[in-house]
Amino acid sequence: MSLQVFQHVLAEMVMSPGFRVAVQDNAEQALVTFQLTSQERQRLATIAHDPGVKIGTMIHRSFRIGMFANRLPRTCTALGTQELQRMLLEYWETHPPQTLFYAQEAARFASFVSAQIAQGKLYNPYVEAVLKLELGLIELASSSGIPEQGAPDIEHISLDMSVATHPACRVIQFDHDPNILLPSLNAGEIPETVPRGEYYILLKRSTDGQMHTHQISSTLGVVLLICNEPRTLAWLQDYNVLTTDNAATLIHSGYLCVWQHTTEYMTSSVEEQLVV
Amino acid sequence: MLHATESSTDIIDGIATLPKLGVGLSFQGTLRDYVRTHSYTFDFVEIIPDAFWNDVGTGEKSRYQVSEDAYHFLAELCTTKPIIAHSIGLSIGSAEQFDTEHVAQIAAWQQRYQFPWHSDHLSFNKLDDESGHAMDVGFTMPIPYDEEALAMLIERVNYVQQTIPVPFVLENNVYYFSIPEQDMSEAEFLNRLSAATKCGLLLDLHNVYTNAQNHKFDPWEFLGDIDLTRVVEIHIGGGMIVDEFYMDAHSGPGPDEVWALLEAILSAAPNVAGIVFEVFGTHYPLMGPESLKGELDRARAIWERYR
């Protein structure tokens, strides 16, 4: 059914201004590879000249930007207008729209931004940490079935017991003072100067679904980052990360949880693996 | 002059027996407080069910993820007001795909929330990309008003109506570019689709006004060609001018001409069961509760004159 092809080409003209201009300039050449009826070719050639297509492009892009701005507002601010525009243009060219849903589109864009940083295409002192913060908020907000924090009585702690950072928690390390950086970004501004240092922000989702954000000590921050992967208490003790007494305290406080010791690494859902 | 085209009784029966709900509010997240504090200003709530779930994709187990907060909110809401569903996710005009899982999801929610009718848009927004992944343009793209498209839609509307046991209502599209040399006019397409399937029409008067502004036709003439007996629901809203185009932005109060169209339609459309005012959540904070109440009161005054 060539209506399928027609719709694809029409959507492409809306999503890709470059393609629309190509159809405008030489429809026969631009459409040669598509299986279209002569009526459809003529229609598309005419539509390419319709000024309303630009409005379609604007709406399409506004919608996609809206998804980022809604879920990654601080990241978008931290990028700055010029850099954000550059990245959006590249993102739009390489990432066709796959979803109407904000969390998924934001996660895709976040992956793109992370890749830009890893590839050395983006240098920005604040974006990496802010992006992790906002992704952590998205993950926690969309997660379900998070077990109760705090632990029932544990009769004994054994060194072969494994612990991990509680799934209701996310820890993000900041190289710049988040107490100055984040309020400024919340207000839509990039701060002029932010003191450097080692800071840790804890995101915690309580059982009533509320999100809590606060700064934690470097000591606790390092422990929780290390325990993003399940670790045995023996390992933690051997590497001077955590004593068993401190581990028990962190379990009772809801920062860590005990994992069923298994040689299989995370083969089932988090809920099934957790003991407490 | 607007008039109602005569239709045979057996075609319009399902629509004619719908409860006349009155004036409704299109729900957006920023309207939660308004819904709680101003419930006396509207008779029912129109929800966009897609806004309450996270759709992880076709074929996925547990495809539609709904938060506990959403379920609680809707459970509380439907004890106080009737709810109707106005979905954005069916993309019924997409030639290469027809989302039967989406239809099943709407069916499940109809059973849960007892919508007296439900609606979606006569347009397409979803396609598959080259690797077969679902792709979404993010707004309602026009479909050609051709015999081929009509045949496709008749089959799909029939499927929806066989799956969900309450009337299905389709909204006329807003379009910023038009498809030339179509087999029939938009009005003829809507009439023939509705006559063939017995589906209802959601007549978005602000869409008609927007299209008329941008494509230079007479909205009164357009409405004169519509079979008004098929109209179940009416949408009204406001817009703004961007880059020399009038936009269906749902940005605030409706233009006076839209209100005039509403008054004329209600006097001539016997089966209208509800009028819904739409404002986007991002625009509501600028509009404010008093202005929103004003629009709902204006709709009610017209409703009470003709119902």
The alpha-carbon gap from B237 to the nearest alpha carbon of chain A, in Å, equals 18
* pLDDT for res B11: 39
In this complex, do A59 and B138 lie within 8 Å of one another by their Cβ atoms? Answer: yes
Residue A95 at interface with chain B, using a CB cutoff of 8 Å? no
* pLDDT for res A152: 47
Q: Inform me whether the pLDDT recorded for A209 exceeds 80.
A: no
Chain A neighbors of B149, CB-CB under 8 A: 3
Chain A neighbors of B141, CB-CB under 8 A: 7, 10-11, 14, 56
Q: Which DSSP letter does residue B30 get?
A: G
Q: Which DSSP letter does residue A95 get?
A: S
Q: Inform me whether the pLDDT recorded for A137 exceeds 60.
A: yes
Higher pLDDT, A100 or A189: A189
Percentage of chain A with pLDDT > 70?
87
**Nearest chain A Cα to B141, which residue?**
A11
Higher pLDDT, B273 or B67: B273
Mean pLDDT over each residue of chain B, to the nearest integer: 93
Chain A neighbors of B65, CB-CB under 8 A: 142, 144
In this complex, do A103 and B54 lie within 8 Å of one another by their Cβ atoms? Answer: yes
Q: What is the mean pLDDT of residues A242-260?
A: 86
A180-183 CB contacts, 8 Å cutoff, 24+ apart: A181/A126, A181/A130, A182/A74, A182/A130, A182/A133
Return the bridge partners of A202, or none. A171, A214
The alpha-carbon gap from B53 to the nearest alpha carbon of chain A, in Å, equals 9
Which of A59, A206, A210 is best to mutate for the B interface (most B CBs within 10 A)?
A: A59
The alpha-carbon gap from A97 to the nearest alpha carbon of chain B, in Å, equals 5
Task: Report the Cα–Cα distance between both ends of chain B, in Å, rounded.
Answer: 20
* pLDDT for res A150: 55
**Nearest chain A Cα to B148, which residue?**
A3
* pLDDT for res B156: 97
Higher pLDDT, A93 or A31: A31
Q: Inform me whether the pLDDT recorded for A156 exceeds 80.
A: no
In this complex, do B127 and A11 lie within 8 Å of one another by their Cβ atoms? Answer: yes
- Which of B123, B130, B53 has the alpha carbon at shortest distance from B90? B123
* pLDDT for res B149: 97
Residue A3 at interface with chain B, using a CB cutoff of 8 Å? yes
The alpha-carbon gap from A114 to the nearest alpha carbon of chain B, in Å, equals 22
- Angle at alpha carbon of residue A177, lines to A176 and A182, rounded to 5°: 100
Distance, CA of A85 to chain centre? 19
In this complex, do A53 and B176 lie within 8 Å of one another by their Cβ atoms? Answer: yes
Please name the residues between 125 and 154 in chain B that touch chain A, using a CB distance below 8 Å: 125, 127, 129, 133-139, 141, 144, 148-149, 152
- pLDDT tens digit sequence for B180-193: 999 999 999 999 99
Query: Residue A120 phi/psi, 5° resolution?
Result: 75, 15
**Nearest chain B Cα to A10, which residue?**
B141
Please state the pTM of the whole predicted model.
0.81
Q: Inform me whether the pLDDT recorded for A267 exceeds 80.
A: no
Tokens of A211: 């999100």
Q: Inform me whether the pLDDT recorded for B5 exceeds 50.
A: no
A187 vs A85: CA distance, rounded Å: 20
Q: Inform me whether the pLDDT recorded for B14 exceeds 50.
A: yes
Which of B61, B128, B136, B251 is best to mutate for the A interface (most A CBs within 10 A)?
A: B136
Cβ atoms B277, B23 nearer than 8 A: yes
The alpha-carbon gap from B284 to the nearest alpha carbon of chain A, in Å, equals 16
Which of A1, A10, A35, A271 is best to mutate for the B interface (most B CBs within 10 A)?
A: A10
**Nearest chain B Cα to A70, which residue?**
B282
Residue A10 at interface with chain B, using a CB cutoff of 8 Å? yes
Determine which of A57-71, A97-111, B71-85, B186-200 has the lowest per-residue pLDDT on average.
Answer: A97-111
- pLDDT tens digit sequence for B123-139: 999 998 777 777 888 88
- ipTM value > 0.90: yes
Query: Quick one: pLDDT band at residue B7, thresholds 50, 70, 90?
Result: very low
Where b means 16+ CB within 10 Å and e means fewer, A216-226 reads beeebbbbbeb
Q: Inform me whether the pLDDT recorded for A268 exceeds 50.
A: no
Residue from the list A4, A43, A60 with its beta carbon closest to the beta carbon of B138:
A60
* pLDDT for res A254: 86
**Nearest chain B Cα to A67, which residue?**
B138
In this complex, do B177 and A47 lie within 8 Å of one another by their Cβ atoms? Answer: yes
Residue A64 at interface with chain B, using a CB cutoff of 8 Å? yes
Q: Inform me whether the pLDDT recorded for B279 exceeds 50.
A: yes
* pLDDT for res B143: 97
Q: What is the mean pLDDT of residues A66-72?
A: 82
Residue A31 exposure: Cα atoms within 13 Å on the Cβ side: 30
The alpha-carbon gap from B70 to the nearest alpha carbon of chain A, in Å, equals 12
- pLDDT tens digit sequence for A215-245: 999 999 999 999 999 999 999 999 989 888 8
Percentage of chain B with pLDDT > 70?
96
* pLDDT for res A260: 64
* Run of H or E including B177: none
